[in-house]
């Protein structure tokens, strides 16, 4: 038994829906250009954790038996959502042939006008144990969010010059920077089409804001809060506050606004949507804090991506910022982004010697508790229990 009752098997709850995830995404991604097709689907071959879609589906269930603002009709036009996306058909002008041009890719367009249709089941599936359910739009939201997340990883690996992701060669390493960037753009574009088809303006706005926040977070990290155009971007913020805001932007915004969107698609009351948002925000912050901690404590093989990477990238994350309070000498190194010979090694040693890693864990734990406090306000359900237990896994995760 765990806190919050017996361990709930999330596979039993939402495993069926998650199983379709990769297939549905592949169908949303079909491109007539074989290489673009390969690059944009590349990271989906690996076994991702699919933690974001998992949370979205569980929030869908956990809010389905909570107070509603709007009644969502089961007869909503879900077929429209699954209409195949055209491929290469828009620009194919047959008159080119008459003009003597070879229609190259156009020639194939008769067979490639449409990507495979997405075979989701139109009706919400009721969980027999507690009558909670997931709507098709909420399942699609999980797919959209996983696509946006993966787009950001394609771009991130270019920026970070990473050679590895999910134990595969990174996309930039396999296909080069140009294709990796365009593959990410394509994922974003197709996610946008799918988002438009949810026909929910509030959700469109939330998820579009997420994309902006991802870029803002990455920019905050790039500049590391230092002077820009003669102005200190830190302003009145402390370095730690700046780090937490950056962390919200690059990680927690996606999870929090996805959780809110999942609730909104289910017609939840404002109060319930706020609960979903608060849960997502805090589990997102905890998730990134733990990620920044694992960068110091886990080997690259275990993690499936480079570790010990942040210092080398010039980044001072929570463990370093906490260690700085104990070892003021770190301040100088942080300011110059660990760019002098020996800086990375010295910072590494001081962090391991300090309480920084333990303090980071404790802060993550505080955010996990806030997530639990929020979600506990929802009516009881298996999904609610699963969401509580998930926060505990965030703290214990090794990869």
Enter the tokens of residue 207: 């998820």
The span of 38-46, 149-157, 263-271, 342-350 binding ligand FPP (CB under 6 A) equals 149-157
The yes or no reply on residue 156 touching Mg ion (CB under 5 A) is yes
CB of 126 to ligand FPP, least distance (A): 34
Distances (CA, A) of 99 to 106, 114, 188, 200: 14, 26, 35, 44
CB of 153 to ligand FPP, least distance (A): 6
Interface residue with ligand FPP among 250, 257, 260, 384 (CB under 6 A) is 250
Interface residue with Mg ion among 17, 130, 146, 160 (CB under 5 A) is 160
Half-sphere exposure of 167 (CA within 13 A, CB side): 11
Given the complex with ligand FPP, which of 35 and 215 has the nearer CB atom?
215
The yes or no reply on residue 160 touching ligand FPP (CB under 6 A) is yes
Q: How far apart are the C-alpha atoms of 315 and 171, rounded to whole Å?
A: 23
151 binds, among ligand FPP, Mg ion, none (CB under 5 to 8 A by kind): ligand FPP
DSSP state letter for 133: E
Q: How far apart are the C-alpha atoms of 357 and 322, rounded to whole Å?
A: 8
The yes or no reply on residue 65 touching ligand FPP (CB under 6 A) is no
The yes or no reply on residue 188 touching ligand FPP (CB under 6 A) is yes
130 binds, among Mg ion, ligand FPP, none (CB under 5 to 8 A by kind): none
Distances (CA, A) of 304 to 168, 240, 285, 324, 365: 8, 28, 21, 29, 24
- What part of residues 282-311 is at the interface with ligand FPP (CB under 6 A)? 305
Site string for ligand FPP, 207-246 (x = CB under 6 A): ----x--xx--x----------------------------
Residues in the chain: 399
Within a 10 A sphere around the Cβ of 348, how many other Cβ atoms?
Answer: 16
How far does Cα 43 stand from its chain's mean position? 13
Let me know: does 388 contact 372? Beta carbons within 8 Å: yes
CB of 94 to Mg ion, least distance (A): 45
Given the complex with Mg ion, which of 176 and 331 has the nearer CB atom?
176
How far does Cα 76 stand from its chain's mean position? 27
Let me know: does 118 contact 110? Beta carbons within 8 Å: no
Total chain residues near ligand FPP (CB under 6 A): 17
Given the complex with ligand FPP, which of 25 and 211 has the nearer CB atom?
211
User: Please, which residues have CB within 8 angstroms of residue 305's CB and are 6 or more apart in sequence?
Assistant: 162, 164, 165, 166
**Which residues are near ligand FPP by CB under 6 A?**
148, 151-152, 155-156, 159-160, 162, 184, 188, 211, 214-215, 218, 250-251, 305
**Which residues are near Mg ion by CB under 5 A?**
156, 160
């Amino acid at each position: 038994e765990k806190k919050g009752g017996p361990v709930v098997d999330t596979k039993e709850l939402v495993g069926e829906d998650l199983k379709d995830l990769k297939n549905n995404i592949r169908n949303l991604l079909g491109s007539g250009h074989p290489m673009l097709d390969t690059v944009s689907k590349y990271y989906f071959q690996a076994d991702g954790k699919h933690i974001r879609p998992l949370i979205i589906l569980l929030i869908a269930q956990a809010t389905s038996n909570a107070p509603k603002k709007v009644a969502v009709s089961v007869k909503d036009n879900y077929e429209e959502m699954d209409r195949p996306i055209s491929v290469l058909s828009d620009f194919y002008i047959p008159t080119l042939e008459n003009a003597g041009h070879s229609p190259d890719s156009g020639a194939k367009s008769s067979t490639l006008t449409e990507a495979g249709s997405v075979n989701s089941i139109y009706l919400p599936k009721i969980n027999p144990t507690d009558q909670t359910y997931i709507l098709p739009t909420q399942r699609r939201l999980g797919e959209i969010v996983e696509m946006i997340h993966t787009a950001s990883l394609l771009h991130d690996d270019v920026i970070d010059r990473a050679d590895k992701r999910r134990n595969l060669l990174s996309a930039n390493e396999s296909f080069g920077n140009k294709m990796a960037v365009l593959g990410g753009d394509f994922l974003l574009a197709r996610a946008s089409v799918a988002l438009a088809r949810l026909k929910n303006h509030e959700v469109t706005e939330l998820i579009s804001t997420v994309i902006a926040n991802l870029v803002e977070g990455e920019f905050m990290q790039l500049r590391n809060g230092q002077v820009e155009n003669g102005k200190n971007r830190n302003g009145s913020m402390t370095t730690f506050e700046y780090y937490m805001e950056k962390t919200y932007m690059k990680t927690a915004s996606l999870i929090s606004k996805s959780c809110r969107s999942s609730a909104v698609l289910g017609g939840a009351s404002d109060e319930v949507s706020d609960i979903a948002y608060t849960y997502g925000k805090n589990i997102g912050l905890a998730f990134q804090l733990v990620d920044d901690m694992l960068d110091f404590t886990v080997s690259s093989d275990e993690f499936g991506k480079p570790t010990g990477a942040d210092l080398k990238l010039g980044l001072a994350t929570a463990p370093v910022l906490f260690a700085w309070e104990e070892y003021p000498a770190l301040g100088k190194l942080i300011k110059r982004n660990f760019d002098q010979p020996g800086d990375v090694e010295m910072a590494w040693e001081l962090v391991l010697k300090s309480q920084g890693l333990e303090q980071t864990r404790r802060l993550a734990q505080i955010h996990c508790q806030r997530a639990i406090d929020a979600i506990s306000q929802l009516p009881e359900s298996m999904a609610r229990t699963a969401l509580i237990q998930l926060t505990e896994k965030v703290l214990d995760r090794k990869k």
